[in-house]
Amino acid sequence: MRVAVYYNNHDVRLEDRPRPEIGPGEILMRIEASGICGSDVMEWYRIKKAPLVLGHEVAGTVEEVGEGVAGFEVGDRIVTTHHVPCGECRYCRSDRHSVCDTLRTTTFDPGGFAEFVRLPAINVRLGTFKLPDGVSFEEATFVEPLACTVRAQRLTGVREGDTVVVLGSGISGALHIQLARANGAERVIATDVHPFRLEMARKLGADAVLDARGDVPEELRENNDGRPADRVIVCAAAMSAVEQAFRCVDRGGSIMFFALMEPGAEFSMPLWDVWKDGISILHSYAGPPDDMRAALRLIAAKKVDVAATITHRIGLGETERGFGLVEGAGDSMKVIVEPWS
């Protein structure tokens, strides 16, 4: 089968590998669509594991079913996730799935930028779901990233009547903008440095869009009846966004650090202000099974229009170009790889 092998952000090679063989409890999945995630192009994180086949936002069909698999048949349309929590450890039982040891070690073979992928038994059992008839394969690739967004806003406490500021309007920001609306936010304000993404944020439901290079805290107040925001969601891996977050949050509000910073990154926190104003500081990673189900329901109900964020569809042999589009963060939002196109 054909696979796109990552060596670095500018060297992704189309190679041939044997089709994976499945065992008991496993599924061989034919990949119909695979999204390129922003984390796929974090070279500082990926390069030490290269060469490897990336891709974890996948949807497709069941090609083969292993002995003992229940609930799935050949031909079923499915979506799956590479990281699944065990659901039984002390972390999972207290809704801290992100730090579950099982979640941090699970994956599938070889990766989503391939024609076929083997889903281990635990992924089949805990992280694989049938697609409703009205959900396309490309829409289904958003179930995993939207589940991450669902979890983040659940922890952040986004609710009806809130003002939500999204710092960074890449694909994560785009999902947060729409989800905040679906969660009943009264006002959603987004920032970015790219005009294309600011316009996209407006089309996706932001009430105001602000150039991140300007005085964002002041402009926020001008667009929010003189007040800061109840919830601030940081979707840009930039220290300027971190600094803005503390100046944008209202008393009793919360800051969600959703974007991933490089190891060693440090920030001098205004501890007195955090204590005095009752600011909650949170972070989130991954989306456990219940949030995957919630994401799939949101997509099926069109409450989050994920298809509107797709700017490029490419073949497997163009994966390197796709990485360049995502890394460049210009006139692109979501890039979908279609291995069979």
Across the range 18-35, mean pLDDT stands at 98
In angstroms, the first-to-last Cα distance of the chain is 14
pLDDT at 45 over 90: no
Residue 166 has pLDDT above 90, yes or no: yes
- Say yes or no to pLDDT of 48 above 90: no
Cα 283 from Cα 279, distance rounded (Å): 13
Could you tell me the domains of the chain? 2-142+304-338 (3.90.180.10), 151-283 (3.40.50.720)
Mean pLDDT for the stretch of residues 226-233: 98
Q: Which residues contact 125 (CB under 8 A, 6 or more apart)?
A: 25
Give me the percent of the chain exceeding a pLDDT of 90.
91
* Mean pLDDT calculated for residue range 14-29: 97
- 85 touches 92 (CB < 8 A): yes
Rg (CA), the chain: 20
Length of the chain: 341
pLDDT at position 85: 96
Asked if the model's pLDDT at residue 43 lies above 90, the reply is no
Q: What is the pTM of this model?
A: 0.96
| Pick from 63, 10, 55: nearest CA to 316 | 55
Q: What pLDDT was estimated at residue 47?
A: 86
Span 207-216, average pLDDT: 98
Average pLDDT in the 236-244 region? 95
Whether the predicted pLDDT of 274 surpasses 90: yes
- What confidence score (pLDDT) does residue 330 get? 80
C-alpha closest to that of 106 among 79, 91, 125? 125
Residue 16 CA to chain centroid, in angstroms?
28
What pLDDT digit, counting tens, does each position of 172-204 carry? Answer: 999 999 999 999 999 999 999 999 999 999 999
Residues 81/293, Cβ–Cβ less than 8 Å: no
